[in-house]
Amino acid sequence: MLKRVSIHGNWSSRMGFVLAATGAAVGLGNIWKFPYITGENGGGAFVLVYLACVVAVGLPVMIAEMVLGRRGRRNPIGTMKLLSEEESRSSAWRFVGWLGVATGMLILSYYSVVAGWTLSYTVESISGAFRDAGPEEVGAMFSGLLASPLTLLAWHTLFMGMTVFVVARGVQHGLEAAVRYLMPVLLVLLLVLVGYAMTTGHFMEGVHFLFDPDFSKLTPAAFMIALGQAFFTLSIGMGAIMAYGAYLPEDTAIAPTAATVVAADTTVALLAGLAIFPLVFANGLNPGEGPGLIFQTLPLAFGMMPGGVVFGTLFFLLLVVAAWTSAIGLIEPAVAYLVESRSMPRRRAALLIGGSIWLLGFATVFSFNVWSDLTVSIGDRAFTMFDGVEFFTSNIALPLGGLLIAVFAGWVMSKGSTLDEFERGASTGYATWRLLVRWVAPAALLIVFLQVTGLVDITNL
Ligand code: TRP
């Protein structure tokens, strides 16, 4: 077969892909979401289920996206259409690309609002607001922010503006360069925070909470949440990695490259947990605090440590950057589609998509204040609009996308096609991958779905 090339060219090296994919993967999902949902779900046992999901389902699906992306070398909608035709299967598979585009936009609508919180906290830190602040003051600062729709809206607007600005100019230059230098700095700062956590006298409590599994705390819903988080944090299930895979050099070995990205992402999440939980216990806070967890714990550490103003400002600034590089990955599939298939100028496409996402974000902004009473009860939980969008995207849309991608790579594509991509660069482990992507990933995802729809209760299996 004549080898296809992407119209955008390729990454200069394997490292280019690793940096871009890690930039997309490492974001609020690792530092904001992982600690708070781990806290809500009781700690160690949940972490164990999450790690199992990352390895047994997340890694094979990431490899599948890279295999499909490099074979198709188009945006996710174009790639799914092309490959299904090539395998003489229904071109309805392109729906998977559409689902991904829509999911990315929905995720970004709330992601941007939370990224706005990190912008606000950067400014608070510079102004010295955390200095010697106690848990009550820090808690009040956070609830004050949420109570003000205009403040939230202003930060959300700024963050969407930053995202559109970069995407309108084309992703490659500024951002790839930023990731290259800023990600390592973020890692160092996380280590500084873990170091600080060791001085609180409650470090081991944090370690036990994260790593000692107490299976009695595991609810059936926890399986679904762990799987959803694995997809969210790895940026899989919506075609983003497929799009990045389209620019992979022809001879890059896919499996070890995917494993590198997964390992980097997991390391950052676990370090965030090690930085945050000791502070939770040292200050008598509740680990099940919810989405405000890092905003109510980290300022306490920065308020007390020497050089806290500098460290705190840097930390929230880097969190902004981590969120920014992820936001680009979330919006790019929709923009690329309009540019490639509708011949729209990139600038206009970025403004149009960014503007729509900005509007969708109002639902999240108002969830915390004027619409906070507007809830839907599912089971014993009341869902605000924010909870609803977050739940639907992470726990339904991403796993559904992942299921379809796994089925496509494992059952629809011929063995010859996937083997050809997989083996390049002397990757080993094809048989294991094929087993995981054909059986283990679909089975795990199906069970979770049946459970979501209430048809089967995992506890009775
Ligand atoms: N992985 C990102 C995070 O942890 C969020 C995310 C989900 C994402 N899907 C994505 C980022 C697709 C880029 C592309 O914060």
Q: Would the CB of 25 count as within 6 Å of ligand 1? A: yes
Q: Would the CB of 233 count as within 6 Å of ligand 1? A: yes
Tally the residues of the chain.
461
Distance 234 CA to ligand 1 centre (A): 7
Least confident of 46-60, 211-225, 366-380, 433-447: 366-380
For residue range 193-207, list pLDDT tens digits in order: 999 999 989 999 999
Task: Give me the amino acid identity at 29.
Answer: G
Of 28, 30, 163, 232, best ligand 1 pocket probe by most atoms within 8 Å of the beta carbon:
232
Rounded CA separation 306/302 (Å): 8
Verdict on whether the full-model pTM lies above 0.75 = yes
Where are the chain's structural domains? 14-460
Instruction: Check residue 461 and give its pLDDT.
Output: 45
For residue range 286-295, list pLDDT tens digits in order: 999 999 999 9
**Which two tokens mark 7?**
């119209």
CA-wise closest residue to 405 among 447, 445, 432: 445
Of 54, 99, 107, 110, best ligand 1 pocket probe by most atoms within 8 Å of the beta carbon:
107
Rounded CA separation 145/134 (Å): 17
Rounded CA separation 246/276 (Å): 37
Least confident of 81-85, 89-93, 373-377, 399-403: 373-377
Rounded CA separation 84/161 (Å): 37
Instruction: Check residue 421 and give its pLDDT.
Output: 95
The yes-or-no verdict on residue 310 having pLDDT over 80 is: yes
Distance 24 CA to ligand 1 centre (A): 5
The yes-or-no verdict on residue 3 having pLDDT over 70 is: no
Q: Would the CB of 24 count as within 6 Å of ligand 1? A: yes
Of 105, 167, 235, best ligand 1 pocket probe by most atoms within 8 Å of the beta carbon:
235
Mean pLDDT of the chain, nearest integer: 91
The yes-or-no verdict on residue 435 having pLDDT over 90 is: yes
Could you tell me which residues come within 8 angstroms of residue 455 by beta carbon, excluding any fewer than 6 positions away?
none
Element (H, E) at 232: helix 220-234
Mean pLDDT for 427-431 is 91
For residue range 216-238, list pLDDT tens digits in order: 999 888 999 999 999 999 999 99
CATH code, residues 14-460: 1.10.4160
